Structure 1
Amino acid sequence: MWVIQYIVDMGASVMLPIIIAVLSIILGVKPGKAIRAGLMIGVGFVGLGLIVNLMNDQLGPAAAAMSKRFGLSLSVVDIGWPGASPITWASSVAMVAIPLAIAINVVMLALKLTRTVNIDIWNIWHMTFTGAIVSTVTGNFALGLLGVAIHAVIAYKLGDLWVPIMEDYFELDGITVPHGTSATMGPIACVVDWVMDRIPGVRDIDINAGTLQERVGVFGEPVVIGFILGAGIGFLAGYDPKSALPLGVNMSAVMILMPKVVKCIMDGLLPLSERAKELMNKHFNGEKFYIGLDPAILLGDSQVVTAGLIFIPLTLLLAVLIPGNRVLPFADLATIGFFIAMAVGVHRGNLFRTLFSGLIIMALTIWITNQTIPWLTALGIATGSIDPNSTIAALDQGGNPITYIVTQCLTLQNVAGLVAVAAIYVVSLVFTVRLSNKRRAELEKDAQQ
């Protein structure tokens, strides 16, 4: 297990190339081709890291300045995934969680309960977070492992359900995203999509980069949209033009560079994907499996980046409006696109619909995050990661409905909250299954034509 942890500690840019290269060679890809493919994926994730860090470095201070300017006096600061993930890996559950999550994936594949092959070991931290919280709150290590297992099963099944969306909208054939907020918050959008399809007039509204470009010309191009949104956030933060305009140019860079970086990852996955298809056709009658990857690949879509920028000020507004909220969104603001990325895919890039889905997703996330403040704080203290007098929160995973439902089922600290969130989420999952089947049928029909 220490070997796995050692590789994980090197980060996704090293871990994934090793996994891809070794897996490719095992499946019969020539070593030279496999090593090149692995390095291309590493290059892609280095690029993603640089761009995400750019967003954090540029948008983080702007978000803080915006909060201060508008007098947001929220007492608990969001430490985000950069703060929550190290605390999670420091927990007693972490070392067992990785092999447990891998074993569950293998068993589910063998029993044909999933077609998602998760190679993104780093993001097992999401499942581990649930287990660590359960273990800390209940004081029971075994229940913590149960939390990991439940989250893992749900994640792999969500990976299967998102396949038609990945192929239909994101055009990522053979790839799925079973992790994190992208996968787990996406079901909310399926309900919104169903509702909007049944509202005359509203169902015909479609606002995306394409329609914007047709109506406003150059102002609808991603590079210009990035500049307008970035500079707009700067001015809302109280920046002068000397600071706001560079922020706009940096966000233009994000809009242009992100798809190019994601293409490196897809090029690196191609040899493994093609070889896997050959083996499936030969040994499993063409049965298809899907590679589970980091949701960062969804940021290659300009609509996702656009929606993420729009929701920075909107999330802060929600934080003010939600009754009883104590959480100041901060560290996760720069990567808010992760929360609504799958919603963009569900709505096929329709930013009008994404606006409504995103508001519900972020409102639910903020509400749950408030409930998990004592849990995350206790985990941070137990791992020695924070001062005993501190109080912390995290939108990413701290606002995750799976973690909340599982922990509440085992503690019953807030039965009313459990019933409400569970009801919303179960209904959302039903609509997700419905939409997934519908999109899969549409794809099969198109393939036959």
Structure 2
Amino acid sequence: MGVIQYILDLGPSVMLPIVIFILALCLKEKPGKALRSGIMIGIGFIGISLIVGLMLDNLGPAAKDMAERFGVHMAAVDVGWPGSSPMAWASQIGGVAILIAIGVNVLMLVLGLTRVVNVDIWNIWHMAFTGAMVQVASGSFIWGMVGVAVHAAFIYKLGDWLAPVTKKYFELEGIAVPHGTAAYLAPFAIPFEWAFNRIPGVKKININAEKIESRLGVIGEPMIVGAVLGLAIGFLAGYDAKVALQLGMQMAAVMVLMPKMVKCIMEGLLPVAGAARKILEKKFKGKEFYIGLDPALLLGDTQVVAASLIFVPLTIVLAMIVPGNQVLPFGDLATIGFFVAMATGIHGGNLFRTLISGSFIMGITLWISSQTIGWHTQMAEQANALSKGVTQVASLDQGGSPITYILAQLLTLKNVTGLLVIGGLYVFCVICTFIYYKQQTRKALTVVNSEEKVSS
């Protein structure tokens, strides 16, 4: 356990390069190329961490000031993933979560139940969190381990089903994102996409950063959009012109720098991913495999970053109007892009559609996280993570996860109505996601067959 904890303490910017370096050597890459790939990926994640830190340090307080200015007072504060992940690792389940998640991945690969080869060990904290909350809710360590296994198996399947979006929209060849909010909230967007494509008039509306830029010229460039949104958030928070302008420039920097950091990760990853896929596909008779990685890769898309900034004030508004909400959004606001990233891809970068489906996603996330406050607070107490004077905590990331909520409620039945509503809705959306995956796969196959006929 001490060795595992030591590795985890290194953080993703060190741990993932080590994993990639070892994996590259196993894939018969030259040591020099393997080392370069690992270090380049580490550089990318350090860059992303710095940018996320910039957002947390500046956008987070602005969002909190905005909430206080408009009189939003809730029973629990959202501690975000920076607060939730240490609770997950500090739990009893945290010590065995990595072994369970890797074991499930290997078993599913052997049985042909998934094509995702997960190398993102750090983000197993999401699975650990589910297990920890299930243990708190049920009082059983065994059920906690089952919670980790079920979350892992389900999220790997989501990685398979969402791979067409990752490939087609985000242009990440051979990559899957079987982690966190980006994956488990994506199913909610599928029925919206189906409806949008069938509503006359609405199906023709398409708003994205490229169209804004083409119509407005320089004013529509991503960095200008980021500056304007940052400035608007600053003024809504009640900042004076000086601080608001600084926030605007910081958000402009985010819009420009985030995609560049993602490019660093992809530069280091693509050679390894390509080698892995070739070996696996050869060994398993042409089957396609995906390398499972951090959803931070999705933040390299301009539409995702734009949606992220729009949803900062919008989520605070939703917190005021969602019935029964008791959570004050804060810790996860700066990284809200994770919540709507895959939805943005499903909608083809259409910000109009993302705005609508994303509002539903954030609304239901708030509702779920309000119902898990009690269990979340118990986890914080066990991890000695309650700050002085704080009596209740919550989080949007994982605390608002439908997977975690459904598993915990199934074992306790404390809120049968909530379980039936959220469980029924989520199962419906997951079925829609599977159908969507099948449709996208058939379309891709049709395109390939057409191209082969033309070339022959």
Indicate conservation of the 8 Å contact 2:230/2:247, yes or no: yes
- The offset of 1:69, in angstroms, is 1.1
CA–CA distance in structure 2, aligned partners of residues 282 and 142 of structure 1: 38
CA–CA distance in structure 1, aligned partners of residues 149 and 165 of structure 2: 25
The answer as to 2:410 corresponding to 1:409 is: yes
Q: Output one character per residue of 1:337-377: Cα deviation in whole Å (capped at 9) or x when no partner.
A: 11000000000100000011111000000000000000001
CA–CA distance in structure 1, aligned partners of residues 213 and 270 of structure 2: 32
The answer as to 2:359 corresponding to 1:362 is: no
Q: Output one character per residue of 1:92-138: Cα deviation in whole Å (capped at 9) or x when no partner.
A: 11111110110000000000000001111111010111100111121
The answer as to 2:69 corresponding to 1:69 is: yes
Indicate conservation of the 8 Å contact 2:325/2:367, yes or no: yes
Letter in 2 for 1:4: I
Paired position in structure 1 for 2:285? 285
Indicate conservation of the 8 Å contact 2:130/2:151, yes or no: yes
Indicate conservation of the 8 Å contact 2:52/2:335, yes or no: yes
- Number of matched residues? 449
Paired position in structure 2 for 1:91? 91
- The offset of 1:242, in angstroms, is 0.6
CA–CA distance in structure 1, aligned partners of residues 243 and 443 of structure 2: 47
Q: Output one character per residue of 1:190-230: Cα deviation in whole Å (capped at 9) or x when no partner.
A: 01000111101101110001211222222221111111111
Residues 104-183 of structure 1: pairs in structure 2 closer than 5 A = 104-183=104-183
Paired position in structure 1 for 2:427? 426
Q: Output one character per residue of 1:47-84: Cα deviation in whole Å (capped at 9) or x when no partner.
A: 01000000111101111110111111222111111111
CA–CA distance in structure 1, aligned partners of residues 13 and 276 of structure 2: 22
Letter in 1 for 2:359: L
CA–CA distance in structure 2, aligned partners of residues 352 and 69 of structure 1: 28
The answer as to 2:38 corresponding to 1:22 is: no
For 2:394, what is the secondary structure of its paired residue? Answer: coil
The answer as to 2:442 corresponding to 1:441 is: yes
- The offset of 1:281, in angstroms, is 4.3
Q: Structure 2 unaligned runs (5+)?
A: 452-456
Letter in 1 for 2:225: I
CA–CA distance in structure 2, aligned partners of residues 390 and 75 of structure 1: 9
For 1:146, what is the secondary structure of its paired residue? Answer: helix
- The offset of 1:254, in angstroms, is 0.7
Q: Output one character per residue of 1:261-297: Cα deviation in whole Å (capped at 9) or x when no partner.
A: 0011111112212212331343222211101111111
Paired position in structure 2 for 1:390? 391
CA–CA distance in structure 2, aligned partners of residues 313 and 391 of structure 1: 23
- The offset of 1:249, in angstroms, is 1.0
CA–CA distance in structure 2, aligned partners of residues 106 and 281 of structure 1: 16
CA–CA distance in structure 2, aligned partners of residues 344 and 171 of structure 1: 13
Paired position in structure 2 for 1:56? 56
Residues 194-209 of structure 1: pairs in structure 2 closer than 5 A = 194-209=194-209
Paired position in structure 2 for 1:376? 376
CA–CA distance in structure 2, aligned partners of residues 278 and 338 of structure 1: 30
Letter in 1 for 2:350: N
Aligned alpha-carbon RMSD (Å): 1.2
CA–CA distance in structure 2, aligned partners of residues 258 and 150 of structure 1: 33
CA–CA distance in structure 2, aligned partners of residues 62 and 321 of structure 1: 20
Indicate conservation of the 8 Å contact 1:369/1:393, yes or no: yes
Paired position in structure 2 for 1:307? 307
Paired position in structure 1 for 2:454? none
For 1:206, what is the secondary structure of its paired residue? Answer: coil
Indicate conservation of the 8 Å contact 1:277/1:286, yes or no: no
Query: What percent of counterpart residues are identical?
Result: 56
Indicate conservation of the 8 Å contact 1:193/1:347, yes or no: yes
The answer as to 2:323 corresponding to 1:323 is: yes
User: Which deviates more, 274-283 or 98-107?
Assistant: 274-283
CA–CA distance in structure 1, aligned partners of residues 384 and 246 of structure 2: 39
Report the CA distance shift for 1:410/1:22 in structure 2 as closer, same or farther (over 3 A): same
Report the CA distance shift for 1:115/1:281 in structure 2 as closer, same or farther (over 3 A): closer
Paired position in structure 2 for 1:296? 296
Letter in 2 for 1:20: I
CA–CA distance in structure 2, aligned partners of residues 12 and 54 of structure 1: 18
- The offset of 1:2, in angstroms, is 2.9
Paired position in structure 1 for 2:260? 260
Letter in 2 for 1:407: A
CA–CA distance in structure 2, aligned partners of residues 282 and 312 of structure 1: 46
Indicate conservation of the 8 Å contact 2:137/2:411, yes or no: no
- The offset of 1:387, in angstroms, is 6.0
CA–CA distance in structure 1, aligned partners of residues 218 and 448 of structure 2: 34
Indicate conservation of the 8 Å contact 2:277/2:290, yes or no: no
Indicate conservation of the 8 Å contact 2:67/2:316, yes or no: yes
Q: Structure 1 unaligned runs (5+)?
A: none
Indicate conservation of the 8 Å contact 2:226/2:255, yes or no: yes
Paired position in structure 1 for 2:244? 244
Paired position in structure 2 for 1:269? 269
Letter in 1 for 2:265: I
Paired position in structure 2 for 1:214? 214
Q: TM-score scaled by structure 1?
A: 0.98
For 1:117, what is the secondary structure of its paired residue? Answer: strand
Q: Output one character per residue of 1:157-186: Cα deviation in whole Å (capped at 9) or x when no partner.
A: 001011000011000001111111110001
CA–CA distance in structure 1, aligned partners of residues 60 and 25 of structure 2: 41
Indicate conservation of the 8 Å contact 1:170/1:345, yes or no: yes
Indicate conservation of the 8 Å contact 1:381/1:387, yes or no: no
